Amino acid sequence: MKMRLFFLLVVSSAVIGLDQVSKWWIEQNISFERPLILIPNFLQITLVKNPGGVFGIFSDFVGDYFRFLFILFTLITLGLVGFIYFKLPPNLYSAALGLSLIIGGAIGNLIDRLRLGEVIDFIDLHYYSYHWPAFNVADSAITVGAGILAILILLKKW
């Protein structure tokens, strides 16, 4: 149990740290009007503040009520994912990694919601004028973690 807790703390802390440091750097160095173009017509770093949920859904609904709901939903999700994490059989390292990534990513975005009332996003993938919704390190960790779990389920390894 101690090793499992240590693993969770290491992975989720790494995600949280990378997420928060990258968001701090973006806030200090990138403006709304001036993105950093990395690959023309494909990848740029742009400061985006997302008061809504994933992909900006519900971003038109603002105010303390919706902020509270997003925070509550995150806390409930963290509780459920944490419960599943500690119920894993000892040999499911890949599932532990996936769940740790999800937990770290959720906490990273939760910190933004508590601190700012919205989430800082900055990775902007696009093809000319066709944009994928901006995302961040925490979102990437959640996506990779969910992908690991989906693969394990499809391969019937979990």
Catalytic residues, by residue number, are: 121, 139
Angle 91-94-96 from CA coordinates, rounded to 5°? 75
Neighbours of 103 (CB within 10 A): 24
DSSP track, 32-68: SS--EEEETTTEEEEEEEE-SSGGGTTTT--SHHHHH
Angle 69-101-157 from CA coordinates, rounded to 5°? 115
Residue whose tokens read 């532990």 = 96
Asked whether the beta carbons of 143 and 108 are under 8 A apart, the reply is no
Q: How far apart are CA 26 and CA 28, in angstroms?
A: 5
* H helices, E strands: number in the chain: 4, 4
